[in-house]
Structure 1
Amino acid sequence: MSEKFLKEGHTVIATSLEIESLKSLAEVYDRCERESIDINDEESISETVEKVVDKFGRIDILINNAGVPAVGALLDIDLETAQRCVNTNVFGTLKVSKIVGLHMAKRGKGKIVNIGSVMGYASTPWAGIYALSKAATHSMSDTLRMELKPFGVQVIVVAPGAIKSNFATAGAKLVHVPEDSLYISVSKYIIGRASASHAPGSTSTDKFAAHVVKKILDPVSPKYITFGQSSWLFFVFYYLPVFIRDFVLSKMFGVGMIRIQN
């Protein structure tokens, strides 16, 4: 989305723990500034926000898009992986929102955009921790939206469907099915879950960014921007009776193929 904002003529302060990863973007666009930030460190967040405000005078839009994947059966998943996912996706987002939200509230204007997921609508087998983190992000954003509305600050949730990105690649590297797992017989489904967003028909990042940025730049943005391949399906799952949702998702992700080991 950073590139789309830049193409629209806006100044972007792109942040990352690994600032060198932003080098190519900054080299192409003069209006792109780079800043290093650790969203799990409040001091790092405060220093970066203060630096940006001192230089530019304000922050109009905050995009909380830092995210960590977590794929695996809940009984198998490494707790360190689970905690890293939740700490980054939920508490990291909250830490940045608190500091930037205070600045925006004092100005009486601003937008906070939190990247959720269609997984926040309906969890699937083999992605329980990630879904948990995104459901929490949705819930947190709903509360933040109500609490910041009196101060003129809008809070938007972006819930992507299947989008072609490097995120799935990162998730695939973290998947591990132990040899003694109860789910060893469906390991291919678990491993395949990590790259599900790269399935044929997945939405391109350019198309996704164009749609989302347009909505964010509207004077009054939607409270939820749900977009991307299969996103409509998860939106439907949210409203379906639980027994139907469980049946369909279990079939999609191979739960019925599990073989009980004696």
Structure 2
Amino acid sequence: MSKQIVLITGCSRGGIGYAMSDKFLKEGHTVIATSLEIESLESLAEVYDRCERELIDINDEESISATVEKVINKFGRIDILINNAGLPAVGALLDIDLETAQRCVNTNVFGTLKVSRIVGLHMAKRGKGKIVNIGSVTGYASTPWAGIYALSKAAMHSMSDTLRMELKPFGIQVVIVAPGATKSNLATAGAKLVHVPEGNSLYISVSKYIIGRASASHAPGSTSADEFAAYAVKKILEPVSPRYVTFGQSSRLFFVMYYLPVFIRDFILSKTFGVGMVRNQN
């Protein structure tokens, strides 16, 4: 494949976006790595002269437009867009802070759409391009204690399916990449946000399971961000990429659960995440 101009959101060091940036750069492509914390991208820029660092707030259309315009003015095009920026949300649906929930959905769904709209118009004018949205295996099967995050990723998957059909006439491919348990910054951020209200939560008896859910992707056997990036980038660089790329620890299990009878899926997930341990305190 010819050398590509790749724009990636959410590239803070230690995450999937950072690892994917590194992999694209090693393959000889030019990467515009973006983050809200641009200082965390210094090491990429120091190693690769083909790495550009830019600030993007994916919830701010002016911020997106300014960066995209800057990239197009300098390089003439964007070949691949990787929508990786996102937020976690962990907690029982009856407990979770609604502001946290709304930020998660707005960022993961509408933030991704905002970037896709602006870059997609540019790609449509060229008659080619590839938009890659980083979803999650929880988009296949929602788990207890991660309902908001799962619904945001399920919505992203659904949105991507529609984008794929609507953008095909313009030569644009849309790819959904669904990581399994992969070590990244997302788990660290989720662990800081998780909260089980003492005294008025129905789930105080299983608080350890809820808190543990935030860092589940860092459990022993989890896929490293570098390993995930190597697999995902290989698929993305294929001339015609798969519509869905699913990879990482437990990813096959979640993919299969999507097709299982609901009562079986509920049993497996409820047992895994301690729902059966909930004690009725009324």
Which residue of structure 1 aligns with residue 180 of structure 2? 161
Say yes or no: does 1:138 pair with 2:157: yes
Which residue of structure 2 lines up, in the alignment, with residue 219 of structure 1? 239
CA distance in 2, matches of 1:21, 1:89: 21
- Please report how far the alpha carbon of residue 22 of structure 1 lies from its aligned counterpart in structure 2 after TM superposition: 1.1
- Determine if the alignment matches structure 1 residue 101 to structure 2 residue 105: no
1:252 corresponds in structure 2 to: 272
What's the counterpart of residue 92 of structure 2?
73
Residue 13 (1) aligns with residue 29 (2): no
Corresponding residue of 1:55: 74
Partner of 2:259: 239
The percentage of aligned residue pairs carrying the same residue is 89
Following superposition, the deviation at residue 23 of structure 1 comes to: 1.3
Report the Cα distance in structure 2 between the residues aligned to 1:160 and 1:62, rounded to whole angstroms: 17
Per the normalisation by structure 2, the TM-score is 0.92
State how far apart, in whole Å, the 1-side matches of 2:103 and 2:125 are.
32
Structure 2 distance, partners of 1:18, 1:38, is 10
How far apart in 2 are the matches of 1:242 and 1:191?
Answer: 25
Moved over 2 A (4+): none
Equivalent position amino acid for 1:97 in 2: S
1:116 aligned to 2:116? no
Mapped partners of 2:153, 2:184: distance in 1? 18
CA distance in 2, matches of 1:142, 1:36: 28
Q: Secondary structure at the match of 1:34?
A: strand
Q: Deviations over 1:180-204 (max 9, x none)?
A: 2000000000000001001111111
* Separation (CA, whole Å) in 2 of partners of 1:167 and 1:134: 14
Match of 1:32 among 17, 37, 51: 51
Q: 2:207 aligns with which of 183, 187, 197?
A: 187
Unmatched segments (≥5 aa) in structure 2: 1-19
Q: CA-to-partner distance for each residue in 1:10-60, whole Å, 9 max, x for gaps?
A: 000001112112112111111000111111011111111001000000000
Give, in whole Å, the separation in 2 of the partners of 1:38 and 1:163: 24
Alpha-carbon RMSD across the aligned residues, in angstroms, is 0.6
Post-superposition CA distance 1:127-185 (Å, at most 9, x none):
00000000000000000000000100000000000011121111101011001200000
2:219 pairs with 1:199: yes
TM-score by length of 1: 0.99
1:74-111 residue CA offsets vs partner (Å, 9 max, x unmatched): 00000000011001100000000000001001100100
**1:123 aligns to what SS in structure 2?**
coil
Count of aligned residue pairs for this structure pair = 262
CA distance in 2, matches of 1:165, 1:45: 24
Could you tell me which residue of structure 2 aligns to residue 230 of structure 1? 250
SS at match of 1:239: coil
Separation (CA, whole Å) in 2 of partners of 1:88 and 1:22: 21
Measure, in 2, the Cα distance between the counterparts of 1:254 and 1:64: 32
After TM superposition, give the deviation of residue 215 of structure 1 in Å.
0.4
- Deviation per CA, 1:188-232, whole angstroms, max 9, x where unpaired? 000000010011111111111111000000000000000000000
Structure 1: distance between partners of 2:225 and 2:36 = 22
Residue 67 of structure 1: CA displacement? 0.8
